[in-house]
Structure 1
């Protein structure tokens, strides 16, 4: 038996020591929790998307039913291809799609070239070049595309002697280039000034500075907004149907005039445009990842 003298302070209780957690185990637990949160978020997003899609389909079906509409989806494949005497022929939707792809491809090339030239003029020290680029931007961005299309078709086309296909391509290219030029100019200005000075100090000319130093750093920053502009170009290409170019939209309109299959044809045309824009966005995202990896190296 232990005798404690009066006035002697009690002994302190022994402290409980907790072993530090293994960093690898803590990291694994954090990653697992993060994956669960991401899974819940993706599941919620997917559920909302599915609910919205179901609601849209329900609205379309009920609206068509209220109108007494007769669905004829079985006739849609013949507008893509036809078999006559054992030979396959393109349907009107395929022909219109090829025209739309041609307009989009040429429009992309020309709009990028015009946009780059406009951006460089805006960045140049030339007063005339800067004024010309500014006037072009103000004129194009502050007037409707439909009005520009008619001006190109009824005014410039007879003067220049070009056909309606190139009239539509030029109108789209000049319209979209007005937005692309500002994207390119913003990307160029985002490159730190020290990069310009370092390139000039080693004796590079102005063109070499842009080609070797500035643009490789600016392109990854420009890709996302450029993708949006290209997607807008694909969607805006439908306006060439107003000058009797037989693109996808115009071919769909002609099919409806012949068959009265309004819902089936427009839904099919919308799905084709969705595939085009989605494919372009996926390609641009892949190019952006490659550009960023190359930049990090």
Structure 2
């Protein structure tokens, strides 16, 4: 079915004109009226710079922070998917005991401010959990085995413990929201699907694996992808525990150079481009999922 074209009304044009006027005025105030000397020519070196010693172009401080943000977001989302899938299954379990555990996890995380949660996890949970797992600053040395892979996929060995702590804290926080996405997806499947599969002799595990979850996956994929975008933005909060991601590098660079507006506008554009690219990818996935499959 071809969607109908929506025509712009006079009210829409007036609204767009008002938004354009306000935006133009804000840009005028920022770039012309404000008593601020812009220095954009200083910014490229903080994205890419030429290292005379190695003879190669190397990432600047902002690009280094971006790479840390992407690593942090990817690892946190992968762990959050595991936590969310497990707790989502508990939330839809037939056992009241398991439902209480899943519900308690969601209620605890979702009703704590994320900043408070990061501090609690870093100083009270991660500070005890990571050394018990053998992950500490004393054990992470530059000459340790797999140091190169650790530096590439996680962080420098000396920074790995705080990075892992930030990943776990962020994953636990995002996992609570993924739990509810998966719970809602499973419960959105008609009860007749459960009854029909039970009548065929399927166990509950087989029902979830072969009947329910494949149908729920089509419904939960778009919100899961949207949650990944939120994870990228929420990753900025771990700058408070000195993880050198994009926001942390922006704060340090602003304090050192006093290029306040240039630094934060650059970081704003970077976040916008990344999140917009993910949003367009989500939109493409939604169209693919809504497209009827062709019979072969």
TM-score normalised over the length of structure 2? 0.80
Superposed CA deviations along residues 49-100 of structure 1, whole A, max 9, x for unmatched, are 6863663364254146554211011111111111133421111111111100
Q: In the alignment, what sits opposite 1:160?
A: 129
Distance in 1 separating the partners of 2:167 and 2:20? 34
Alignment partner of 1:283 out of 257, 281, 285: 281
Distance in 2 separating the partners of 1:186 and 1:119? 9
Q: In the alignment, what sits opposite 1:12?
A: none
Instruction: State the structure with bigger RCO (CA 8 A, min sep 6), 1 or 2.
Output: 2
Cα pair distance change 1:94/1:43, threshold 3 Å: farther
Q: Secondary structure at the match of 2:49?
A: strand
Q: In the alignment, what sits opposite 2:199?
A: 201
Cα pair distance change 1:167/1:59, threshold 3 Å: same
**Structure 2: tracts of 5 or more residues without a match:** 136-160
Q: Secondary structure at the match of 1:221?
A: helix
Distance in 1 separating the partners of 2:253 and 2:17? 31
Are the equivalent residues in 1 in contact too, given 2:226–2:282 (CA < 8 A)? no
Distance in 1 separating the partners of 2:74 and 2:43? 27
TM-score normalised over the length of structure 1? 0.80
Alignment map for 1:1-297 (pairs within 5 Å): 34-35=4-5, 38=6, 40-41=7-8, 52=19, 55-56=22-23, 58-63=25-30, 65-85=32-52, 86-161=55-130, 162=135, 163-293=161-291
Q: CA deviation at 1:267?
A: 0.8
Q: Secondary structure at the match of 1:212?
A: helix
Q: Secondary structure at the match of 1:41?
A: coil
Cα pair distance change 1:46/1:158, threshold 3 Å: farther
Q: CA deviation at 1:296?
A: 7.5
Are the equivalent residues in 1 in contact too, given 2:93–2:99 (CA < 8 A)? yes
**Structure 1: tracts of 5 or more residues without a match:** 1-30
Cα pair distance change 1:133/1:295, threshold 3 Å: farther
Structure index of larger Rg: 1
**49-58 or 108-117, larger mean C-alpha shift:** 49-58
Are the equivalent residues in 2 in contact too, given 1:115–1:178 (CA < 8 A)? yes
Distance in 2 separating the partners of 1:182 and 1:138? 11
Distance in 2 separating the partners of 1:42 and 1:101? 41
Superposed CA deviations along residues 106-162 of structure 1, whole A, max 9, x for unmatched, are 111111111111111011122322221121111111110111100111011221125
Q: CA deviation at 1:224?
A: 3.1
